[in-house]
Structure 1
Amino acid sequence: MINLSPAFAKENNWSVKKQWTVQEIMDFVLKEGGLTPLKETVDMIKIGKADQVVTGIISTMFPTIAIIEEAAKRNANFIIAHEPSFYNHNDKSDWVKNNAVLKKKQDLLDKHKMVIWRFHDYCHSLKPDAVSYGVAKKANWLSYYKTGDVMLKIPAVTLQNLVSHLKKSLGISHVRVIGDMQQSCERIALLPGAWGGPMQVSTAEKEKPDVLIVGELSEWETAEYIRDARSFGQKISLIILGHAVSEEPGMEWFAEWLQPKLPDVKITHLASGDPFTWL
């Protein structure tokens, strides 16, 4: 009989496949990312056990039902998701009383013995920020990107061509736009995700970009500010990509970053996709 014990393998310089628990991987990500544990954060295990042995990792934006079922098919029991699992920022199960959909989702996760870790605050704390870097990488803008800076200066392009480029490079079927499609765009404010009206408007006021690119917004805040700014003659445009699709490149890049560091664990990025059908 061949001796396949770990000690024998180590003695003969054979690679030993390591088993990782959820907690070990979480600790590993923080260590490799140079991240200090946060005292107040939403980045916690949302369901499942920290001591569970990981059979595979899925990175995604939202842990949708389709993502959970696909993870189970791939024998991956650890989902690292950027956004909430249960429809509210803190994933409170009593956010809406007697939520039947939430209960069914919890039951499905329990059935597959799935663990979900939200990776939001830490994701944005990486150097560079995984989301903005991932978007810049996918848009082929890394040569214009500076870590920690929301502003990019790209070669001048019309708003129409900029929209076409973003749709094609990021794989987005539809975007919403306020502006003159023939306007020349060079100074870009890149704010993927949901930065909120105050940050979006303050960035526009401070940086005076040609175009503000956001994931989502409150229509009665930033959109109305842009409309009024244009009425006063300011040459500023707005592109709304959509929340999920605007930050998905970040979780895609996170998987690319993590996989070489964890060769013993299969890591797959699955896009949760745009929840909307455009008619």
Structure 2
Amino acid sequence: MTPEKPGRREFVDTLTKASLLLTLPGITPTAAFWQPAEPVTVGQVMDLILKTIPNAPFPKTVDTLKSGTADQKVTGIVSTMFATMDVIEQTARLGANFIIVHEPTFYNHADETDWLDKDEVFKRKHDLLAKHGIAVWRFHDYWHSHRPDGIRMGVVTALGWEKYMDSTNPRIITLPAPLPLKQIITHAKEKLGIAMMRVVGDPAQSCRRILLMPGASGGRSHILAIQQDKPDVILCGEISEWETAEYVRDARQQGQKLSLGILGHIMSEAPGMQWLVPWLQPKLPGMKITYIDSKNPFMYL
């Protein structure tokens, strides 16, 4: 049994250093830091964040409060991928009462709960949030719409590829020299704390141009990006097995030098919620903001 490795701890420590705050894209020494004269509310924090997002607020979005109210006073903020039972308990122990998550809290994209009304797992989680008075806000559509995309920047920073990112096409990474596919996969596993990756391709293939697409943008998006960007390898979060993998397999059987590495949805996006902490902290200098790793639930037998 091989659990996921906690391979991003060094990255968290690095990002929280004050010296790095001013070097991250989107963070400048002249940023207008908000120093409230009185305790801030959940709604005020949300509004502060939305002011940085182009065209926000959106008329239709899944980024809504899943628990709590906009007018409750914030005692501390936690950033994470999922508001798991463990994350909720850890948040309470920290004395925080506002969790900003990237993914759903109640097991479906829109966090609809009418179908879970009599479900014991849902009820216990709902009651735990109410017990501790914790507000949960999903920050998915907006964080991806930030410029630069907050999730992408977290992943690129964790991989140490910031200087190799194409400024006009951020999904493209051009390494200074070609590397074998196996070496790139090993690097991604080590930097992102991934125990195992599924790969389509030749481990010895020489790769320099990387198409990085974290999360679940879908097979059509992957394939259109491959057509446009002509990468040596695509590293993506997750796939439907009949889409991107089959396209890459066919391309290879036709003689193309193209490979695929699947990072996993969680492991490909969690660094973006780590990156949220140093991005948000200067805007709320008196607020304790903490990243909690909700971890990958899977093990490998």
Number of the residue aligned with 1:165: 187
Q: Give 3-state SS (helix, strand or coil) of 2:44's partner.
A: helix
Distance in 2 (CA, whole Å) between partners of 1:197 and 1:94 is: 31
Pairwise CA distance, 1:148: 5.0
Q: How far apart are 1:275 and its partner, in Å?
A: 1.4
1:77 aligns with 2:86: no
Question: Which of 252, 259, 265 matches 1:243?
Answer: 265
Per-residue CA deviation, residues 217-258 of structure 1 (Å, 9 max, x unaligned), is: 111211111112111111111111111110011111111100
Correspondence for 1:183 = 205
Closer/same/farther in 2, CA of residues 117 and 148 from structure 1, 3 Å limit? farther
Match of 1:259 in 2: 281
More displaced stretch, 224-233 vs 65-74: 224-233
Instruction: Give 1:99 shift.
Output: 2.9
Provide the secondary structure at the position in 1 that maps to 2:118: coil
The answer to whether residue 233 in structure 2 is matched with residue 222 in structure 1 is: no
The aligned residue for residue 192 of structure 1 is: 214
Q: Does structure 2 retain, via aligned residues, the 8 Å contact 1:191–1:212?
A: yes
Which of residues 125, 128, 150 is equivalent to 2:171?
A: 150
CA distance in 2 between counterparts of 1:33 and 1:196 reads: 24
Q: Which amino acid aligns with 2:300?
A: W
Equivalent residue for 1:121, pick from 119, 130, 141: 141
Deviation of 1:147 (Å): 6.0
User: Distance between the aligned counterparts of 2:97 and 2:204, measured in 1?
Assistant: 48
What is the distance in 2 between the residues matched to 1:56 and 1:147?
Answer: 37
SS at match of 2:299: coil
Going from structure 1 to structure 2, the CA distance change for 1:177 and 1:65 (only over 3 Å counts) comes to same
User: Match of 2:129, as an amino acid?
Assistant: L
Distance 2:36 2:231 in 1: 53
Following TM superposition, by how much is the alpha carbon of 1:261 offset from its aligned partner in structure 2, in angstroms?
Answer: 1.3
Q: What is the DSSP-based 3-state SS (H/G/I as helix, E as strand, rest coil) of the residue aligned with 1:220?
A: coil
Q: What is residue 49 of structure 1 aligned with on the other side?
A: 69
Instruction: Tell me, in whole angstroms, the C-alpha distance in 2 between the residues paired with 1:176 and 1:95.
Output: 34
Root mean square deviation of aligned Cα: 1.6
Matches of 1:218 and 1:87 in 2, distance apart? Answer: 19
**Displacement after TM superposition at 1:134 (Å):** 1.0
TM-score, scaled to structure 1: 0.91
What is the Cα deviation at residue 100 of structure 1? 2.4
> 1:18: how far off?
3.5
Instruction: Using structure 2 for the length normalisation, give the TM-score.
Output: 0.84
3-state secondary structure, aligned to 2:126 = helix
Aligned in 2, Cα 1:224/1:136: closer, same or farther, shift over 3 Å? same
| Separation of aligned partners in 1, 2:151 and 2:296 | 17
For 1:206, the equivalent position in structure 2 comes to: 228
What is aligned with 2:296?
A: 274
Residues 35, 122 of structure 1: 8 Å contact kept: no
The alignment partner of 1:134 has SS state of: helix
Q: Which residue of 1 aligns with 2:125?
A: 105
Identity %: 50
- Work out which structure has the larger RCO, using CA pairs closer than 8 Å and 6 or more positions apart in sequence: 2
Give per-residue Cα distances to partners, 1:156-195, cap 9 Å, x unaligned: 1111100111111112222111110000111111000000
Are 2:52 and 2:146, in contact at CA under 8 Å, matched by a contact in 1? no
Match of 1:9 in 2: none
What secondary structure is seen at the aligned counterpart in 2 of 1:136?
A: helix
Based on CA coordinates, which of the two structures has the bigger radius of gyration? 1
After superposition, the C-alpha distances for 1:101-152 in whole angstroms (9 at most, x for unaligned) are 1222111111111100000011011110001111111111110112653111
Are the counterparts in 1 of residues 151 and 273 from structure 2 also a CA contact under 8 Å?
Answer: yes
